[in-house]
Chain A
Amino acid sequence: MTPNSLVQVGLLVGLLLALARPLGWYMARVYEGKPVGLDRVLGPLERLIYRVCLVNPAEETGWKAYARDMILFNLAGLLVLYALQRVQAWLPLDPLHFGPVSPESAFNTAVSFTTNTNWQGYAGETTMSQLSQMAGLAVQNFLSAASGMAVLVALIRGIVRRRSDTLGNFWVDVVRGTLYILLPLSFVLALALVSQGVVQTFTGSATVPLLQPAAVSQPKLDAAGKPVLDARGDPVMEAATVSAQVLPLGPVASQVAIKDLGTNGGGFYNTNAAHPFENPTPLSNLLQLIAIGAIGAGLCVTFGIMVGDRRQGWALLAAMLLLLVPLMLVCLAQEQAGNPVLGRLGVNQAASALQPGGNMEGKEARFGVAGSATWAALTTATSCGAANSMHDSFTPLGGLVPLFLMQLGEVVLGGVGSGLYGMLLFVVVAVFAAGLMVGRTPEYLGKKIDPFDMKMAALGILAMPLVVLLGTALASVTKAGLAGPANPGIHGFTEMLYAFTSAGNNNGSAFAGLNANTPFYNMTLALAMLAGRFLVKLPVLALAGSLARKKAAPAGPGTLPTHSPLFVAWLLAVVIIVGGLTFFPALALGPIAEFLTHAR
């Protein structure tokens, strides 16, 4: 590990921590319905939305109605997004005339963006019209993030409220989260990104001359534009010289901003944040990294403020960072150490003034090992999934880190809202075992954990391993599944495991190397995304409803302290042991076997 890497990790974590407090305080005010300053400007718009949508903002609902509203809202978003992709050819803002997206790809994408996954089986710049990108994908980037945050807020209210039947109003939570948190932050970030060179335009494309014309061989076309075939039926090839390149453009900065802030991760371009138009400079890289982690970290502080004990929020944030930072350092160390096979061939892989050293395959030269590995860890710790390097090209253990961070259940910062509510499910389990160990009926923040709560926590934790393991198992024995991996052998298994892990955890990052735009993967991954999202959200809301109805026991010396370093350590152990026990065999047959095979 180079000093440069350590400085980058330190800077990133320091900035995230510094931002968490003010942002968390601000978000708490937003969700508690208190004045936030911006409401003087956006208040009329907020009230107009309620009037148009016939929402009575003062009316609160119980968990069932809250869940119903959430599902209807996401279902409507899914259908609109599907329809939009299918009819984009007949709508404006399609300068490159892409035509409709195929049904299964459109379905996969619609599910992907409404579940905050942003798994992309397609290449954005050659598939989606600007209208689909802007009015379809980017809109869902906001709304899926806002609905994740709403579910978290409902859970927090469930913890805070006593003998209450209501959790709040889903519509109000979504509107306020979007208007006062996501929109203003995205606006500021988009402007900052534009300053770094991220494009933002309605122009379809730019044609630029190449610095160095390239000689290529391409099929010869007849007058009708069809390839000319030789006697054996193969296309006749002819030599040609390419001297210009077409660069697709579009409203990129606005989409990238929310892609990061809302932990969506769906890029405008296929290569996502590795593309110079999405992420041009090291500064834009750092800004985006902060944006990816900011809301997740801030929500921990929001949690502490709303439950009336800030230490509780900091304890959860500490647990998350204690998982993130060591794993990030492992990834960095592995990537900086380089490829052992090349090392045995005598290749110098050490960092020096002349070379970044380490494993640079699949990494952008402008980010280097540090900028890529920190990104890979953070984008998978959060459920963002945006990528600025190819995780497929990481060393086995360097690639294991992003995989394992997802397999922990996306609870290390995680998706906005979903990360913390996922972590709170683990808290319920940790509190249960620890509570028994101190000889009391387990309770968290004064709320006793009864069988129903345990059932919901178990269901919420169970959903992800179910879809990931079954999905990977299905892919590894079926013909359609085995057609996907580009690499044979161990690495191919990791590619499939990564795809289902990413979808089941609503991360959306790709290991690449897997051709997932096939009916099999489009459909199975879409189902994995739906299950991974809603089979967690629903138990969380049910848990919130059950907790809200309870009275709270006051804390005393006999109460298990849930903000102490000891409890944080215990929570970490629970998360690691559950994740580890679930995925160790799969990891052993994937990246671990690959590492050990290379190491021999």
Chain B
Amino acid sequence: MSHPGQPAPIFDPALVRSAVWDSVLKLSPRHMVRNPVMFVVEAGAAFSTLLAVQALRGHGQDSPFFVIAVSLGLWFTVLFANFAEAMAEGRGKAQAASLRRSRRQIPAKFLTEPRHGGHFAVIPSANLRKNDTVLVEAGDEIPCDGEVIEGVASVNEAVITGESAPVIRESGGDRSAVTGGTLVLSDWLVVRVTADPGQTFLDRMIALVEGARRQKTPNEIALDILLAGLSIIFLLVTVTLMPFSLYAVRAAGAGTAVTIATLLALLVCLLPTTIGGLLSAIGIAGMNRLIQANVIALSGRSVEAAGDVDVLLLDKTGTITLGNREAVAFMPAPGVTEAALADAAQLASLADETPEGRSIVVLAKERHGIRGRDISALGAAFVPFTAHTRMSGVDLNGRQIRKGAADAVEAHIRNLGGALSAEVRRDVDAIARNGGTPLVVSDGARVLGTVHLKDVVKGGIHERFLELRRIGIKTVMITGDNPLTAAAIAAEAGVDDFLAEATPEAKLGLIREYQAKGHLVAMTGDGTNDAPALAQADVAMAMNSGTQAAKEAGNMVDLDSNPTKLLEVVAIGKQLLMTRGALTTFSIANDVAKYFAIIPAAFAATYPGLQALNVMHLATPQSAILSAVIFNALIIVALIPLSLKGVKYRPASAAALLRRNLLLYGVGGLLLPFPGIKLIDMALVALHLA
């Protein structure tokens, strides 16, 4: 199945073909007016076309060839900008199309009574409304977004997540949300519809990737204002150049006044067309990158906010540590060998399918070479863990081997007349202090020792936190553990701070506290009890596997349900802003060289001394102006890949990032046009076009 997150090559032929056509359609003034800079360029191109008509009829100020060439240059500037936008949208549309394929009509088993076993009628999914209930059975597609109110089933959500391993969805708890278009593999579910048609998760996703509902973020608006301000200045500069030129011609008694076509060319060269033309492509591409990371942002604003985040709240389990604890040591009681303890612990765990149980078996094998045994062959009876006893174990040849929490085992052996020795008690405390979980093993009334279970910090997480610290993001671990355990894991993982024994209220309080100090807080969550904190956080990523409440409260959903993804979202947010900033700087820095091309070309006839400013030694005034216009248009195309991929982001301090980007895009933007314009000029001369 095609997956929405698959990155396509930048210049995919099919995409290019449709983008070329779109860029012509986008010439409609109604579309262009949304982008003031490019709208001015289009108006200039139209005006210059009229001048070309005038020149062709023999009344023009310039040669028809020159005016036509300038007009073409201006039109292509607009078309290239449209092409960039169309390319970005096209990539989004390709993703949307594969999503839309899963949104086709699905027959829904509409339940008249909201319970399993009731009567149902098959209706098209489009007729479902919020709060209707439907039955979904093995082999059925889930017809709509909803919440499981009854039943448990395995569901294939590959259409959304690209992950083919089935997931469990069940009523109650934190795994009750289902998404329309996903497939039930086994059992059945009764689902209450939570979204009207057109409002479903899939619909929102499609709208987002298509850019249809893309609203400008505050940063984009502020940048628009800056660009508009600069455009007004450049408009003033070119408009007033006409009277200045008239004065100069009279004063010098030489040359002719600057022509309108030249002024139009100068205006378009000065306007920040590079950033103006690529701005919307950058925004759309940013959203697409996020979708490639399998994260759906409910607004562009939240993506940018992710770049600003400076406090990250992370759940311990699943984010910082692997979900499971692992046995790391056997600590025998006095008079017991470690091998004997390991043997007993292994026996007690053989039938225990929990990860902790399995890790004990593994450790016993590693440390003492104790092989796995067939528990039924031994004639042993497995005693499973219950919430009541809080122990598990085996009964074997009259031996009663148990393992469990210290207090549970203590109660158990006291009943049998035994007692916990001081040494064991000390071991238990020591393990807890170090962030581990002690598991006491007993044989009958006798305590054999303690197994040290430890939270396993994910590989590489320590380095990621270091990276985050370097870019100024503080990490806070949230855990239900006691403060001792929490502190030990926090130290091992390298987080900056932790919140132990966290309740929903405490989480909310912590977020508010950070926000009051001016921080921007990001967090992940999946449970209903996370919802208040998710709603309060500035960037809140809900897990797709989480409850509907959590998804509603968050402003992003991670389809892979991987809390570490937040780190990638931060990078994508930063990259988005950096691309905008870098291209703005580049665009403005370009103008310097264009002055050196156009000013001597336009005025050297009046003041011959100004020829000295022609530092690029461009062939003729016409070739100079055309070269500047052509460079200005081509640079947009040249930068399309950069605007779609984003500038390179490496985690570093703000000072280091600024140095790098200023050098690359500021100084580079200042220097690059000089050779660029010169080369185009040489090409024009070689082609006898000048």
**Chain A interfacial positions (CB closer than 8 Å to B):** 429, 432-442, 446, 449-451, 453-455, 458-459, 461-462, 465-466, 469-470, 472-474, 476-477, 482, 488-490, 492-493, 551-554, 556-561, 564, 566-567, 570, 573, 577-578, 580-582, 584-586, 588-589, 592-593, 595-597, 599-600
Distance in angstroms from B224 CB to nearest chain A CB is 8
Distance in angstroms from A513 CB to nearest chain B CB is 14
The main secondary structure of chain B at its interface with chain A is: helix
9 CB-based A-B contacts, threshold 8 Å:
A432-B222, A436-B584, A440-B654, A454-B225, A472-B240, A554-B517, A567-B658, A589-B244, A597-B608
CB < 8 Å: which of A439, A469, A552, A559 contacts B578? A439
A26, B242: Cα distance in complex, Å: 50
Interface stretch of the complex, out of B446-454, B660-668, B671-679 = B660-668
Distance in angstroms from A485 CB to nearest chain B CB is 10
Give the residues in chain A near B241, CB-CB below 8 Å: 585
| Residue B526 interfacial (CB < 8 Å) | no
Known: A439-B657, A581-B592, A589-B244. A557 touches B237 (CB 8 A): no
Most chain B beta-carbon neighbours within 10 Å: one of A462, A564, A589 = A589
Distance in angstroms from B677 CB to nearest chain A CB is 16
A476, B245: Cα distance in complex, Å: 9
Interface stretch of the complex, out of B12-20, B118-126, B169-177, B303-311 = B303-311
Verify B223–A436 contact, CB threshold 8 A.
yes
Known: A433-B584, A450-B218, A493-B248. A557 touches B472 (CB 8 A): yes
Give the residues in chain A near B226, CB-CB below 8 Å: 429, 432-433, 454, 458
Distance in angstroms from A486 CB to nearest chain B CB is 14
| Residue B149 interfacial (CB < 8 Å) | no
Distance in angstroms from B657 CB to nearest chain A CB is 4
CB < 8 Å: which of B233, B244, B585 contacts A437? B585
A438, B582: Cα distance in complex, Å: 9
**Chain B interfacial positions (CB closer than 8 Å to A):** 218-219, 221-223, 225-226, 228-229, 232-234, 236-237, 239-248, 251-252, 270, 304-305, 307-308, 310, 469-474, 516-520, 573-578, 580-582, 584-585, 588-589, 591-592, 595, 599, 603, 607-610, 612-613, 649, 653-655, 657-659, 661-662, 665-666
A454, B217: Cα distance in complex, Å: 14
Verify B251–A489 contact, CB threshold 8 A.
yes
Verify B575–A439 contact, CB threshold 8 A.
yes
A434, B665: Cα distance in complex, Å: 11
A453, B519: Cα distance in complex, Å: 20
Give the residues in chain B near A432, CB-CB below 8 Å: 222-223, 226
With both beta carbons as reference points, the residue of chain A lying nearest to B661 in the complex is identified as A437
A297, B573: Cα distance in complex, Å: 39
CB < 8 Å: which of B222, B310, B473, B607 contacts A597? B607
Distance in angstroms from A52 CB to nearest chain B CB is 43
With both beta carbons as reference points, the residue of chain A lying nearest to B246 in the complex is identified as A477
Verify B518–A558 contact, CB threshold 8 A.
no
Verify B228–A599 contact, CB threshold 8 A.
no
Give the residues in chain B near A596, CB-CB below 8 Å: 607, 609-610, 612-613
Verify A558–B607 contact, CB threshold 8 A.
no
Verify B578–A438 contact, CB threshold 8 A.
yes
Verify B232–A566 contact, CB threshold 8 A.
no
CB < 8 Å: which of A438, A453, A465, A592 contacts B613? A592
Give the residues in chain B near A453, CB-CB below 8 Å: 222
CB < 8 Å: which of A450, A553, A582 contacts B233? A582
CB < 8 Å: which of A446, A462, A567, A593 contacts B229? A462
Distance in angstroms from A16 CB to nearest chain B CB is 29
Verify B592–A438 contact, CB threshold 8 A.
no
Verify B252–A558 contact, CB threshold 8 A.
no
A588, B266: Cα distance in complex, Å: 15
CB < 8 Å: which of B222, B223, B518, B659 contacts A553? B518
A430, B576: Cα distance in complex, Å: 18
Give the residues in chain A near B219, CB-CB below 8 Å: 436, 441-442
Verify B662–A437 contact, CB threshold 8 A.
yes
Known: A493-B251, A552-B518. A573 touches B223 (CB 8 A): no
Give the residues in chain B near A449, CB-CB below 8 Å: 222
Distance in angstroms from B249 CB to nearest chain A CB is 10
Give the residues in chain A near B613, CB-CB below 8 Å: 588, 592, 596
Distance in angstroms from A230 CB to nearest chain B CB is 37
Give the residues in chain A near B472, CB-CB below 8 Å: 556-559
With both beta carbons as reference points, the residue of chain A lying nearest to B229 in the complex is identified as A458
- A437-B661, A586-B240 known, 18 other contacts, Cβ within 8 Å: A434-B658, A439-B657, A441-B577, A454-B226, A458-B225, A469-B236, A470-B236, A473-B243, A477-B243, A490-B251, A557-B472, A560-B654, A564-B655, A580-B592, A581-B588, A581-B595, A588-B599, A597-B607
Verify A462–B232 contact, CB threshold 8 A.
yes
A482, B251: Cα distance in complex, Å: 11
With both beta carbons as reference points, the residue of chain B lying nearest to A471 in the complex is identified as B240
Verify A450–B222 contact, CB threshold 8 A.
yes
With both beta carbons as reference points, the residue of chain A lying nearest to B471 in the complex is identified as A558
Verify B662–A557 contact, CB threshold 8 A.
no
Give the residues in chain B near A592, CB-CB below 8 Å: 610, 613
Query: Which 6 pairs from chain A and chain B are nearest by CB?
Result: A558-B472, A436-B581, A596-B609, A439-B574, A458-B229, A437-B581
Give the residues in chain B near A437, CB-CB below 8 Å: 578, 581-582, 585, 657-658, 661-662, 665
Verify B243–A557 contact, CB threshold 8 A.
no
A553, B308: Cα distance in complex, Å: 10
A434, B219: Cα distance in complex, Å: 13
A556, B653: Cα distance in complex, Å: 9
Verify A472–B244 contact, CB threshold 8 A.
yes
With both beta carbons as reference points, the residue of chain A lying nearest to B224 in the complex is identified as A451
Verify A577–B243 contact, CB threshold 8 A.
no
